[in-house]
Structure 1
Amino acid sequence: MSGDQQPKICIGFDFDAQSVWAGSFGLSTPTALSRGEFGPRTAMPRILELLEREGVSATFFTPGHTIDTWPEVCRRILADGHELGHHGYMHESPVALDEPAERAVIEKGLEAMDRNLGHRPTGYRSPAFDLSANSTRLLLEYGFVYDSSMMADDFTPYWARTGDVLHMDRAFEFGREIELVEVPCSWSLDDFPQFELVVTPPVVMAGMNEPDKVRRMWLADLEFMVERVPGGVFPLTLHPQSIGRGARIKVLEDVIARGKELGARFCTYHEAATTWRASAPPPQGAR
């Protein structure tokens, strides 16, 4: 099977640690922050051991705050051959930020990586899977190769756009494609809403699903992709503090096992983006 036609599985971890509770949910109590601490303290050794045992490379989208707080864990991620991607600084969504503020967050995350790790990321994922009108243009300007925050496809990368305009009284206005690969994501392939209980109005997330339900969902999508989407990319989004707790990690073990049975190649998001880019038509102008 050729590389382009081989199914690919991208295991992406949003390594948020404490930042998601403070930055996204506005919680700073000891119990809330301890949920984030579980990720680097307890889950990450389990996850990194599993990936090493299975010979699987993964991508860790990591806020700058996590890097500043847990630099030794982030150094191990790189030492083990995994990819480290940008994920804001304090898990702040860019949606409400003006352009100078969004630039500042991008730069602060980059500075944390450089200061602690001497590393420059090629990929970005927005906290909470959302972007501002400026985001894709800024990512291209800062030299990113790919983004993984949008959902216009399920298993096939595509070129990101800038300059889209939503008109309420006439057709949607498509902006121009740019040389930024979008590796799409999906809430249905994200462990956080499946497993976590969050009650901080207006955010209410009921989660707490049994692992078997999540396993069935993910394997069904994986099998669909392998059967129907030649060369597809299966973009799993996991959080160490969620997937690494108790029996949940067995779901990841089963996804890896089934992926190997199906002949899938495990690769980083960077590898998936550059593989797609190598044979993709060039970006088109405004449609």
Structure 2
Amino acid sequence: MPNESCSRRSFLGLENCHVFVSGASGAIGGEAVREFLDQGCRVTAFDSRPLQLSGIDAERFSRLQLVNGDLFDEASVIAGFSNAQERFGPPNILVVNSFTEDLATGCPIWELTLDEWKKSYQNDAQSSFLAIKHFLRSVRENQQHSGAELSNLAIVVTETETGNGKAGLHYGLLDRVREEVRQLNSEGRINAVAPDVMDDEQGPAPVDVARTMAFLASKRAAGHISGQRIRVEKSNQDSTVNTRQVAKAVSKTDTRESIPRSLSKPKRNKIRVAVSIDLDAVSGWLGTNSHPDNVLADYSAGFFAARVGVPRLLRMLKKLDLSERCTWFIPGHSAESFPEEVKQVVASGCEVGLHGYAHEGAYQLTPEQERDVLVRCMEIAQNLTGKKPVGYRAPLYQLRESTLDLLEEFGFEYDASLTDHDCHPFFAPRRPPLQPIDFSKPASTWMHPVKESPTLPDRRPLVCVPCNYYMEDMTPMQFLPHTENSQGYVDVRVIENLWRDRFLWIRDNEEEPVFPVLMHPDTSGMAHVIGMLERTLSWLKDWEREGEVEFLQTGEIARWWKNKMLSKETS
């Protein structure tokens, strides 16, 4: 993406600038990320630890890139700047916020070991040096390529790089970079922000430090300041002050006032989230995943799903207050093979839907077998819950016209296996089976469109709540040895970002959509996956606190949509 000039729509004029924040997962680093997003910047957040930000709306999230990397490893820092440029173009602003624990605090120098001294001082200097070095190298290369200077070029370093002489900034680095950055860019500047901490007192709030960073990064507000160390004192004053007060305070190297944010009004668009869990366990290896080469180790994964994955997911859902607002689709084989675990599921207060008996696909069965399986599973579910099941999800989404016929016959309210739409329910379709083309016959025999029933276009009131492979965990994150489309060796953050991107686009472009999230205890119960699911669901709960998300059982969503559509028809 080419670099764009910073616009001048706000006090700081930082809109569209690209900010690279090192050490983004710390308290100050996280607030710096939030502040620059609020100022309209594109932000690359770089750290070895995950960044946790809540309440970031879709527009801001689209301008944020999270890059995992080691602050003290040169190759990792180089890769970080490469990733940053690939997504947002060359950075205009560098925020250096990397630091390690100060092992020297309270310890006289004659008692320090050399390793402790190196860890407290040398490593910090190294991380700062690497960030500044490769930021300026990026600036040089991009300016040489474009033939023009980058706009609003600024470096802001935090107290952890200046206090106590850690990064050597008091001993020449600040002055050196101040002179050298001007050789690269006539507007280039470097400044340091130093949170002031009095004895027995905490320093200023991270948000105030972050807003001072934004002020110093702005050419419009602080283009005349370079090579300075700005002290930020703890303040009890209201942070919403006018910009003249801020400028006056900074000119006196006292930034106890803060920068006013340019907040946009969030979009209020109710999104109904359908969290569901398919408890396949061993049944997953018997029907759709049946293979002559399946071995005991494969079936062992099914035991893990029931006896380890189920309790883990139940604890996670309870922690997030989602136990009663989700749906478990349980094969009859799982219910009968793992009764204790399934009783725990039912006791959580969730909705229970059907999912075949042995995870068999409809095309593996005769119509008579399909009927027998459905009747048996209805009996199992009713004995478990005391209620007639009203929801169904086909194993591996393999259902056919006869499946929908049976769901209609037995009065089911919804199916969750099709994707005529990806974020809106729809009435179950009534279509003849699609016929494969016989290319041995004349083209005139198979050149015809899809035919739908002219009298009954759908199967209302039977509702389809959308779901498919892109909304689930297993296909990308579980290795199934004999299933062609399984992967397994995928960084969970790939799926986390995929789901977030889906949510944010749907939020901005669809009215009253649904957002299905499908888990399997086999997959989401694994130690390296469940943390990602908890992060994702917690992120969605942040939107719930904003009034834009509601977690509902799948049946509740189906009934809401059906009533809405039928009421429109009668009005």
Alignment of 1:172 with 2:436, yes or no, is no
For 1:97, the equivalent position in structure 2 comes to 365
For 2:208, the equivalent position in structure 1 comes to none
Alignment of 1:271 with 2:561, yes or no, is no
Is the 8 Å Cα contact of residues 196 and 206 (structure 1) preserved in structure 2? Answer: yes
For 2:398, the equivalent position in structure 1 comes to 130
Q: CA deviation at 1:188?
A: 1.0
Q: Kindly report which structure 2 residues correspond to 1:171-210, keeping only aligned pairs within 5 A, or say none.
A: 171-175=449-453, 176-178=457-459, 179-200=461-482, 203=484, 205-210=486-491
Q: CA deviation at 1:169?
A: 2.2
**Structure-2 separation of matches of 1:6 and 1:49:** 27
Q: CA deviation at 1:283?
A: 11
Q: CA deviation at 1:92?
A: 0.2
Distance 1:99 1:71, change over 3 A: same
Alignment of 1:38 with 2:304, yes or no, is yes
- 2:528 pairs with one of 235, 240, 247: 247
Q: Kindly report which structure 2 residues correspond to 1:218-237, keeping only aligned pairs within 5 A, or say none.
A: 218-237=499-518
Distance 1:212 1:204, change over 3 A: closer
| Amino acid in structure 1 at the alignment position of 2:280 | D
State the secondary structure of the residue aligned to 1:198. Answer: coil
For 1:155, the equivalent position in structure 2 comes to 423
State the secondary structure of the residue aligned to 2:523. Answer: helix
| Amino acid in structure 1 at the alignment position of 2:273 | I
Distance 1:97 1:249, change over 3 A: same
Is the 8 Å Cα contact of residues 68 and 116 (structure 1) preserved in structure 2? Answer: no
Which segment drifts farther, 264-273 or 68-77?
68-77
Whose RCO is larger (CA < 8 A, sep 6+)? 1
| Amino acid in structure 2 at the alignment position of 1:181 | V
| Amino acid in structure 2 at the alignment position of 1:274 | R
Distance 1:22 1:165, change over 3 A: closer
Unaligned runs of 5+ in 1: none
**Structure-1 separation of matches of 2:485 and 2:270:** 39
**Structure-2 separation of matches of 1:257 and 1:206:** 26
Q: CA deviation at 1:50?
A: 1.2
For 1:6, the equivalent position in structure 2 comes to 270
Is the 8 Å Cα contact of residues 40 and 70 (structure 1) preserved in structure 2? Answer: yes
TM-score, normalization by structure 1? 0.91
**Structure-1 separation of matches of 2:541 and 2:432:** 39
| Amino acid in structure 2 at the alignment position of 1:173 | K
Q: CA deviation at 1:164?
A: 2.9
**Structure-1 separation of matches of 2:485 and 2:458:** 35
TM-score, normalization by structure 2? 0.47
**Structure-2 separation of matches of 1:226 and 1:267:** 17
Number of positions where the alignment pairs a residue of Structure 1 with one of Structure 2: 280
**Structure-1 separation of matches of 2:304 and 2:433:** 41
State the secondary structure of the residue aligned to 2:412. Answer: coil
| Amino acid in structure 2 at the alignment position of 1:210 | D
**Structure-2 separation of matches of 1:247 and 1:207:** 11
Q: CA deviation at 1:101?
A: 1.4
State the secondary structure of the residue aligned to 1:226. Answer: helix
Q: CA deviation at 1:102?
A: 0.9
Q: CA deviation at 1:99?
A: 1.7
State the secondary structure of the residue aligned to 1:199. Answer: coil
- 2:356 pairs with one of 83, 88, 99: 88
Is the 8 Å Cα contact of residues 16 and 62 (structure 1) preserved in structure 2? Answer: yes
Is the 8 Å Cα contact of residues 77 and 83 (structure 1) preserved in structure 2? Answer: no
**Structure-2 separation of matches of 1:149 and 1:248:** 24
Distance 1:204 1:165, change over 3 A: closer
Which segment drifts farther, 173-182 or 106-115?
106-115
State the secondary structure of the residue aligned to 1:234. Answer: strand
Alignment of 1:280 with 2:565, yes or no, is yes
Unaligned runs of 5+ in 2: 1-267, 436-445
Q: CA deviation at 1:198?
A: 1.8
Q: CA deviation at 1:220?
A: 0.9
**Structure-2 separation of matches of 1:6 and 1:78:** 28
Q: CA deviation at 1:62?
A: 0.7
Structure whose CA Rg is larger: 2
| Amino acid in structure 1 at the alignment position of 2:429 | R
| Amino acid in structure 1 at the alignment position of 2:495 | V
Q: CA deviation at 1:200?
A: 1.9
- 1:24 pairs with one of 288, 304, 327: 288
1:83-124 Cα distance to aligned partner (Å, 9 max, x none): 111000000001232321110111121122234443421100
Distance 1:131 1:282, change over 3 A: farther
Which segment drifts farther, 180-189 or 75-84?
75-84
State the secondary structure of the residue aligned to 2:328. Answer: strand
For 2:183, the equivalent position in structure 1 comes to none
1:114-154 Cα distance to aligned partner (Å, 9 max, x none): 34443421100000112112111110111110001101100
| Amino acid in structure 2 at the alignment position of 1:209 | V
Distance 1:269 1:151, change over 3 A: same
Is the 8 Å Cα contact of residues 382 and 389 (structure 2) preserved in structure 1? Answer: no
State the secondary structure of the residue aligned to 2:281. Answer: coil
**Structure-2 separation of matches of 1:120 and 1:39:** 26
Is the 8 Å Cα contact of residues 16 and 36 (structure 1) preserved in structure 2? Answer: yes
State the secondary structure of the residue aligned to 2:467. Answer: coil
Is the 8 Å Cα contact of residues 145 and 180 (structure 1) preserved in structure 2? Answer: yes
**Structure-2 separation of matches of 1:186 and 1:109:** 22
| Amino acid in structure 1 at the alignment position of 2:535 | D
Between the aligned residues of both structures, percent identity stands at: 27
**Structure-2 separation of matches of 1:94 and 1:144:** 17
State the secondary structure of the residue aligned to 1:149. Answer: coil
Which segment drifts farther, 151-160 or 204-213?
204-213
**Structure-1 separation of matches of 2:299 and 2:379:** 24
Q: CA deviation at 1:232?
A: 0.8
Which segment drifts farther, 100-109 or 83-92?
100-109
**Structure-1 separation of matches of 2:376 and 2:351:** 19
**Structure-2 separation of matches of 1:72 and 1:283:** 45
